[in-house]
Amino acid sequence: MSPVFLYDTALRDGAQAEGVSLSVLDKLRIARKLDEFGIHFIEGGWPGSNPKDEEFFARAMNEKWTNSQLCAFSMTRRAGIAPQDDPNLQTIIRAKTPVVTLVGKTWDFHVERALRVSLDENLKMIEESVAWVKSQGRRVFFDAEHFFDGLKGNREYALKVLEAAANGGAEFLVLCDTNGGTLPDFVKNAVQDTLKIGPAIGIHTHNDCDLGVANALAAVEAGATQVQGVINGFGERCGNCNLTSVIANLQLKMNHAVVSSESLKGLTALSHFVAEVTNLAPNERQPFVGRTCFAHKGGMHVDAVQKAGGRAYEHIDPESVGNERRILVSEYSGTSNVREVAQKLGADLPKGSPEASAILGEVKRLEAQGYEFESADASFALLVRRALGKEHPLFELLGVRVINELRPGLPEWITEATLKLRVGDEIRHTVAEGDGPVHALDNALRLALRAAYPQLDGIRLTDFKVRVVNTSEGTAARVRVLIESANEETSWSTVGVSTNVIEASWQALTEAVSYGLSAEK
């Protein structure tokens, strides 16, 4: 197999995604992580286009890059001036990167309508720019912008553009599906047609038809040896080719060893790291690295996985990409699901045990009312303990009252919660205010329990979600409340359901506290 080189453009093309704004420190952190993982080329940005990119390249000069070569991106010279006099090309040389990627127009429509130069002048701009940058001691890659649209519109001219870049000394001719509208068969045939030009072929796809990865793999199958994309696939419009999926497919499905097997085991961690730094929520259903990729919910599936192993319903070993198998419990589950999840909670239920059947029956009964246990691990753990007679309540509720009041002269509502609990042999009666009923209840509960359970101070609420279960009932509908809590070591989720949002919140809140305290105990 010919080697396939990975080229990540998150710091330039990816940063053009709506909602993404990377600081210089963000860009450096991502670049370091890509280098550590083993990405061959990292496109750092466009020197001279903005102060942030200038600072990035200035700081990047002092970094030690172990596995990656840093690339600077720019356009070819402007019409009517020599390459050595072009400010953009001068700036890109000052960036001192070992690789320069130059973009040029391939589609005659763009040359005449957007660039507004003659077709011959565009060819000179490309060849002369590539040649001059190469004469400055740089490796040069040429991004043939809109190549596939150009090939459809004026095939002869699009190929002449590639020949001009090749004559200038470009090492890679990168075919760009800039509008993201090309289909895999066309990509494959186009790559085969361009191999005869001479330099190695690369591929740069966008995801406007949800084919970014498919087009990149088709290009590699046809002979391309460089794939440009972005970890997690973010970018302009619908995004860039998802390099995360490309890496896994090349290595595990197409036998191209693009990174070491140990690096591949860090793919999920890399994906989550990039998502965190870019402030984009991880896609739980993203192939290979998403949280749900190897989650099994159906009882028949889980039973088969337990008997025959992951191959029964998994196309790869989750650990090969740093992911993990998850068994879910829901109304679609069988006792196999219950037994496996219960075992992880420390309850060993043998096959055919009446307890497993009872737990499954309770899960199905509650989910028919709107509960959801696959997103509430702690609530399921408490359900198992109750079914096995192992739950030891930390307190007994004797009474609860919540008052919402808007007093004259005050700009906002005041919420007050009153609780009466039995904690051990004592009766605790507490009152607390809060920013809304849930906050007031939480404050009153902590006042009542703190003396007996001082570790409660280490438990905090991290997320609160409310969803209507049966929307047809309007304001009388049942609501589901999911609460996520955490301490210094771990996090857990609980659920409550009621037609009264305060009652549903109380259920989820008390289960969160009960689970957190019992876990610490």
Domain membership of residue 93 as a residue range: 5-259
The reply to whether 109 and 211 lie within a common domain is: yes
CATH number at residue 509: 3.30.160.270
The 8-class DSSP code of residue 488 comes to: S
- Output the average pLDDT for the chain: 92
CA–CA separation, 101 vs 143, rounded Å? Answer: 7
The answer to whether position 278 is within a domain reads no
CA–CA separation, 56 vs 95, rounded Å? Answer: 9
CATH number at residue 187: 3.20.20.70
Domain finish residue from 364, 387, 410: 387
The reply to whether 330 and 414 lie within a common domain is: no
The answer to whether position 173 is within a domain reads yes
**CB-CB contact of 173 with 199 (8 Å):** yes
317: left (phi over 0), alpha (psi -120 to 50) or beta: beta
The answer to whether position 454 is within a domain reads yes
The answer to whether position 440 is within a domain reads yes
pTM for the full model?
0.80
**CB-CB contact of 366 with 333 (8 Å):** no
Domain finish residue from 335, 352, 387: 387
Task: Quick: pLDDT tens for 269-316.
Answer: 999 999 999 999 889 999 999 989 998 877 788 778 877 788 888 899
What is the SS3 string spanning 25-47? Answer: HHHHHHHHHHHHHCCCEEEEECC
Query: What's the distance, CA 480 to chain centroid?
Result: 26
Contacts of 351 (CB under 8 A, 6+ apart): 335, 339
The answer to whether position 267 is within a domain reads no
Query: What's at 49, amino acid-wise?
Result: S
Task: Quick: pLDDT tens for 426-477.
Answer: 999 999 999 889 999 999 999 999 989 998 999 998 999 999 987 777 777 8
165 vs 436: which has the higher pLDDT: 165
Tokens 């279960």 identify what position?
469
- Given a cut of 90, whether residue 97 has pLDDT beyond it is yes
- Residues 8-37: what's their mean pLDDT? 96
The reply to whether 44 and 181 lie within a common domain is: yes
Query: Measured on CA atoms in the order 336, 338, 340, 341, is the torsion positive or negative?
Result: positive
Q: What is the pLDDT of residue 1?
A: 64
Q: What is the pLDDT of residue 409?
A: 75
Least confident of 182-191, 213-222, 357-366, 419-428: 357-366
Task: Quick: pLDDT tens for 390-437.
Answer: 777 888 999 999 998 887 777 788 899 999 999 988 999 999 999 889
Burial class (CB in 10 A: 0-12, 13-18, 19+), 253: exposed
The reply to whether 90 and 52 lie within a common domain is: yes
The answer to whether position 266 is within a domain reads no
Helices (H), 253-288: 261-264, 267-278
Domain finish residue from 326, 360, 387: 387
Q: How many domains does the chain have?
A: 3
The answer to whether position 131 is within a domain reads yes
The reply to whether 74 and 216 lie within a common domain is: yes
- Given a cut of 70, whether residue 520 has pLDDT beyond it is no
- Residues 201-214: what's their mean pLDDT? 98
